[in-house]
Amino acid sequence: MRIEILSFKFRVFDSERRGLGVKSSELGVHSSSFIVHRSKSGLKGGSVMLRKVIIGLFVTLILVVSVPLQAADFPTKEVQIIIPWAAGGATDLIFRALAATTGKFLGKAAIVVNRPGGAGAVGYTECMKAQPDGYTLVSAITPLTILPHQVTTAFTYKNFDPVINVVRDPGMFLVRSDAPWKSLKEFLDFAKKNPDMITVGNSGAGGGVHLIALAFEKTAGVKFNHIPFAGGGPSVTALLGGHINAVSVSPPEGIEHVKAGKLKIIALFAEKRFELFPDVPTVKEQGVDFVMGQWRGLAAPKGTPPDVIKKLHDAFKQGMDDPIFIKNAKDMVVNLSYLGPEAFGKLMANDDEFYGKLVKEIKK
């Protein structure tokens, strides 16, 4: 939106047409003259009136300049999506794919930037402090409602305005294809006989997949040795290199390596089997009553104008519906699950309460 600031010329004339006045510096493209007449006996009154006019005009100018940009003018530059984890993880892969199909609907490019650290705290804090103008978003995923219950953070989910939820996926454990355990039963039997011996990687202490692993071991009656990394990508790399025994992830992390035969799914925490891997049973089918996963969406700093939120939502929803993104999601074994701002906000609030109780229970 173009804002023009007027240049005003003020003059005071007496009855003899002598002029006393002040001219402002040139601030814009339009010039207007305001004339205040006084008689010889009214100099003092004219000066008071002049001061009132000047003060009024300055107040008006301040209000004009302070008016925020409207959605009709948004965006005028690229929109940044902060991913609070390293490149190559599930969140990174999903939102890079979505950003690629959303730009044409948004009118400007959507750019993904990675800000790993602190199990997501670094990226969330950066977004929280950003201007609430719609140009900085963050991938709002399940850990946003978990981390504040585990450690002291500068933020909670309440510091953000929900834009759209994109995915809801189950958690899973992956192991190398040459691992000594051929089934979930063998895996859990070994864990029960050897507490803390099986090392299980995760995308960061206090994150979603870490909590899933903690909840699973409590349900299964075993004890793992949890190893945090800077994201899902690095944790999968560590598993491939033989540095850990297993990794707690959610699609699409590690899926390409499962397809290639390098890794295998030893535990699937879903309600039903993956369509792409129909021979892999859920843990529930194998006698462990446990289902848990993560959601992944986008949020903006608190206070972002509602009309800007709507424009962002509409563009990313069109990006979600794009055939190219739908195909990419299917290839990544990602379960698309759309929610608008209001429904997504309720999901975050409900999970914040749920995980708050769960964290207390696990710590007992």
pLDDT in tens, 264-285: 999 999 999 998 899 999 999 9
For residue range 17-39, what is the model confidence (pLDDT) as tens digits? Answer: 333 333 333 333 333 333 334 44
54: pLDDT strictly greater than 80? no
Other CB atoms within 10 A of residue 20 CB: 14
Reported pTM: 0.73
Other CB atoms within 10 A of residue 118 CB: 18
73-167+295-363 shares its CATH topology with 170-293: yes
Q: Establish how many alpha carbons lie within 13 A of residue 310's alpha carbon, considering only the half-sphere containing its beta carbon.
A: 6
DSSP state of 119: G
CATH number of 170-293: 3.40.190.10
The reported pLDDT for the residue numbered 302 is: 98
User: Residue 64: which pLDDT band, with cuts at 50, 70 and 90?
Assistant: very low
Please state, in angstroms and as integers, the Cα–Cα distance from residue 272 to each residue in 215, 227, 249, 275, 292, following that order.
19, 28, 17, 9, 12
Domain spans of the chain, in order of start? 7-66, 73-167+295-363, 170-293
Average pLDDT, the chain: 85
Paired strand residues for 200: 226, 246
Q: Does residue 172 contact residue 197 with C-beta atoms inside 8 Å?
A: no
The reported pLDDT for the residue numbered 231 is: 84
Burial pattern 318-343, b for ≥16 Cβ within 10 A else e, equals: ebbebeebeebbeebbbbbebbebee
The reported pLDDT for the residue numbered 6 is: 35
Q: Domain 73-167+295-363 classified CATH 3.40.50.720?
A: no
